[in-house]
């Protein structure tokens, strides 16, 4: 039985080789269909990986509260302007501050962690080297929320946090820039106007330059940041809540309206709330919004976002896009299968005399079916292999030149190969059965 199938396979193999051009043209539909499937799955997998990397950067189950500093002013009527002026005088807001942080922390249930953040643009100086950086005032929950790990040293202890001691944790980029030839722990660097002692170094964080929404999600190059206790920033650098009425009046008298508009009176630049359960995120977000609105006397000078929801929406959009492209690739495979069937049917008509000769020499109908099935499967599998190679090349080209992340997986290769073989088998049955149904005598007389 095995020898019979091997003989049928050899006949089919010889037939395919003797008609190389026809076999190649027959396989083109399979080649481009499989290539499209490989490329589309690679793009979809790359997009999914990018989404997961972004989720790791923005944290899980997070609600982000940020102040709204620059208000857009519209042209108002005289009456509207008077009402707005009266409301502004009665509804004065102190901005986002530590009292808001403590209220959210102590009153609202279902919160796992909460992290305040103050961000200052400054510079780092050491041994004659100077570089601009961001000084970030945080508490230890910040590192847990955003999945930061240390490669050296320790996080801030309770004494350093409570007393606002001049210590810092640096990113990997700062270490490479200023401590390339020495151990950073215990050393001091000048950040702004103050010297801070390095107590820890964070691991490298990879932020893709191809990510389009890093600004919207609050992602930056963390490797070049310097982190210090929140109270250290408030005590030694800047506490915006200490802005006095006299300072505001002087700003008004200066006549610089643009400078007046850009004044940031918020003590905190961000509050990140990590919720215990994803299902409660929207309800907690609404409660926080109502609480802050009351605390700010009806002034909506804050914005609350849920980065994970933005990422989920982005993922849904990409899934729809990938589904459409996958459907198009599937149609290409279907067309390729139909092409195989058509060419094989035409081949049957061309080879009627050959079929009649085999049948007259003792070949059974099962042998003829096996021969034509082997031909169809060989054409589809060879087309599938070439399609896989072309698809992987397409994925690399898309990644390099179109700034779209791609990732070719073993699943996509196995799926494409299996689909190619199945297409050859399914669409080869009809031509094979037609060939086996030929009458030997009539076939031998066919011209």
Q: What is the pLDDT of residues 356-393, one digit of tens each?
A: 666 666 667 777 777 777 777 888 888 888 888 988 88
Q: What is the pLDDT of residues 266-325, one digit of tens each?
A: 889 999 888 887 778 888 888 999 999 898 888 888 888 877 666 566 666 667 766 776
Q: How confident is the model at residue 353 (pLDDT cuts 50, 70, 90)?
A: low
Distance CA 430, CA 433 (A): 5
CA-based nearest residue to 50, from 209, 215, 223: 209
CA-based nearest residue to 117, from 287, 272, 317, 9: 272
**Within a 10 A sphere around the Cβ of 53, how many other Cβ atoms?**
16
Strand partners, 129: 126
Q: What is the pLDDT, as a whole number, of residue 189?
A: 92
Question: How many helices (H) and strands (E) would you count in the chain?
Answer: 17, 10
Q: What is the pLDDT, as a whole number, of residue 308?
A: 64
Q: What is the pLDDT, as a whole number, of residue 170?
A: 92
CA-based nearest residue to 431, from 365, 359, 348: 348
What are the φ/ψ torsions at residue 298 (nearest 5 degrees)?
85, 0
Compute the 3-state secondary structure of the chain and give helix, strand, coil in percent, each to the nearest 5: 60, 15, 25
Domain edges within the chain: 2-54+313-445, 60-308
- Residues 6 or more apart whose Cβ sits within 8 Å of residue 323: none
Query: In the predicted model, is pLDDT for residue 209 greater than 60?
Result: no
Strand partners, 152: 201
Better-scored residue on pLDDT, 196 or 45: 196
Query: In the predicted model, is pLDDT for residue 259 greater than 50?
Result: no
What is residue 332's three-state secondary structure? helix
Verdict on whether the full-model pTM lies above 0.75: no
Taking residues 56-61, what's their average pLDDT? 64
Distance CA 148, CA 277 (A): 21
Strand partners, 308: none
Q: DSSP per residue over 246-309, as a string? A: HHHHHHHHTT-HHHHHT----S-SEEEEEES-GGGHHHHHHHHHHHHHHHTTT---EEEE-HHH
Burial letters for 221-246: b for 16+ Cβ neighbours within 10 Å, e otherwise? ebbbbbbbbbbbbbebbbebbebeee
Query: In the predicted model, is pLDDT for residue 71 greater than 80?
Result: no
pLDDT, mean over the chain:
77
Query: In the predicted model, is pLDDT for residue 212 greater than 50?
Result: no
Q: What is the pLDDT of residues 424-435, one digit of tens each?
A: 777 777 766 766
Distance CA 8, CA 123 (A): 78
């Amino acid at each position: 039985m095995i020898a019979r199938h091997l003989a049928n396979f050899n006949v089919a193999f010889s037939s395919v080789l003797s008609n190389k051009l026809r076999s190649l043209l027959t396989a083109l539909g399979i080649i481009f269909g499989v290539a499209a499937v490989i490329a589309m799955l690679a793009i979809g997998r790359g997009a999914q990986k990018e989404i997961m990397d972004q989720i790791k950067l923005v944290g899980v189950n997070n609600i982000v509260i940020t102040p709204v500093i620059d208000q857009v002013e519209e042209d108002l009527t005289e009456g509207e302007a008077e009402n707005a002026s009266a409301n502004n005088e009665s509804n004065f807001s102190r901005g986002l501050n530590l009292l808001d942080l403590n209220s959210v922390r102590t009153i609202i249930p279902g919160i796992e962690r909460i992290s305040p953040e103050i961000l200052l643009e400054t510079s780092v100086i050491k041994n004659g080297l100077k570089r601009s950086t961001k000084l970030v005032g945080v508490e230890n929950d910040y590192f847990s929320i955003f999945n930061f790990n240390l490669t050296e040293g320790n996080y801030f202890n309770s004494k350093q946090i409570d007393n606002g001691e001049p210590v810092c944790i640096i990113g990997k980029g700062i270490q490479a820039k200023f401590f390339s030839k020495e151990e950073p722990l215990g050393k001091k660097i000048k950040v702004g106007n103050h010297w801070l002692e390095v107590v820890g170094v964070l691991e490298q964080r990879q932020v893709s330059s191809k990510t389009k929404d890093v600004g919207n999600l609050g992602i930056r190059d963390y490797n070049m940041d310097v982190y210090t206790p929140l109270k250290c920033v408030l005590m030694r650098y800047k506490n915006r809540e200490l802005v006095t009425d006299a300072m505001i009046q002087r700003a008004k008298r200066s006549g610089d309206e643009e400078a007046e508009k850009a004044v940031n009176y918020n003590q905190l630049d961000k509050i990140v709330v990590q919720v215990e359960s994803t299902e409660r995120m929207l309800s907690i977000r609404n409660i926080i919004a109502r609480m802050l609105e009351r605390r700010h006397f009806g002034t909506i000078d804050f914005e609350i976002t849920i980065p994970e929801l933005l990422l989920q929406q982005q993922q849904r959009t990409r899934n729809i896009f990938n589904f459409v492209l996958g459907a198009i690739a599937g149609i290409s495979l279907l067309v390729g299968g139909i092409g195989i069937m058509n060419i094989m049917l035409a081949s049957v008509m061309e080879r009627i005399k050959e079929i009649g000769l085999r049948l007259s020499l003792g070949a059974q109908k099962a042998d003829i079916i096996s021969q034509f099935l082997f031909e169809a499967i060989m054409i589809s599998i060879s087309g599938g292999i070439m399609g896989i190679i072309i698809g992987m090349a397409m994925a690399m080209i898309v990644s390099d030149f179109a700034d779209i992340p791609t990732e070719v997986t073993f699943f996509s290769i196995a799926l494409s190969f299996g689909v190619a073989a199945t297409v050859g088998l399914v669409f080869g049955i009809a031509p094979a059965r037609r060939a086996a149904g030929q009458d030997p005598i009539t076939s031998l007389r066919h011209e």
